[in-house]
Structure 1
Amino acid sequence: MEDRCLIGSVDQGTSSTRFLVFDSKTGEVVTYHQVEIKQFYAQQGWCDEDPLEILESVKICIRESFENLKKLNINPSNIKAVGITNQRETTVVWHKTTGKPLYNAIVWLDGRTADTVDSLIQKTPTKTKTYWQVI
């Protein structure tokens, strides 16, 4: 198998998850795998995702990228570092004992707290949403 230093990257975004493998010397993408993520809109302004689907999508992307590397005659153990990106302020609450999610992931673009944010803005000197949008 070919011996080269690789860098992996988990890119877990709002609409999909990807795992990319880069050549550390050239920056070239050696391989990647991508899986779409479903959003749920139970009410207007809400946006949820299934946290277990998100987790599974990461596992699938890594596994498939490793298989792609093997097909290219490259050992996955050549990956020497992995970077991770995520969905900004998307929130998941996990049960401390079982490790299972208590509810769907509330996606960063969800607007269900808009009234709370507007109320807080009125109480601050700057009156800007920037500081409060993560609520």
Structure 2
Amino acid sequence: MSESWYYKWRDRPPTGREQQRQQLASGIEEIFTESGATYGSPKIFVPLDRRGWRIPVNTVAKLKAELGLVAQVDQTVQEPGRLRDRVLGRPHRGAGCLGRTPQFEGIDDSQGLRHSHALASQGHFRA
């Protein structure tokens, strides 16, 4: 590439696509800031779509990364299992733990287990 061509390219005004991408980047920054820096690209995509932007979620993710926007995790949100255990008054025992708790000691769940095994044999639950 010749030196004159390089300077012609470098000093040219921004193209339509570059202007559009800059507007999109400012929209992403605006939505991210309004969310308190908690939204990831899927949640940023929805308001952009409502504003008329017809772009893929991956483009939002790419621009968000280029801008250096990283969502902050809200530490007050708990996993659904832990919340369910807390509401039911059970101590959290970890995922998949079948241990018994004193509150539920006399409860017979054999019918429920039998029913779930019947459903599983009919193909309702798949691994």
Q: Normalised by the size of structure 1, how large is the TM-score?
A: 0.24
* Higher relative helix content: 2
Higher RCO by CA contacts (8 Å cutoff, separation 6 or greater): 1
Which has the greater radius of gyration?
2
Q: Normalised by the size of structure 2, how large is the TM-score?
A: 0.25
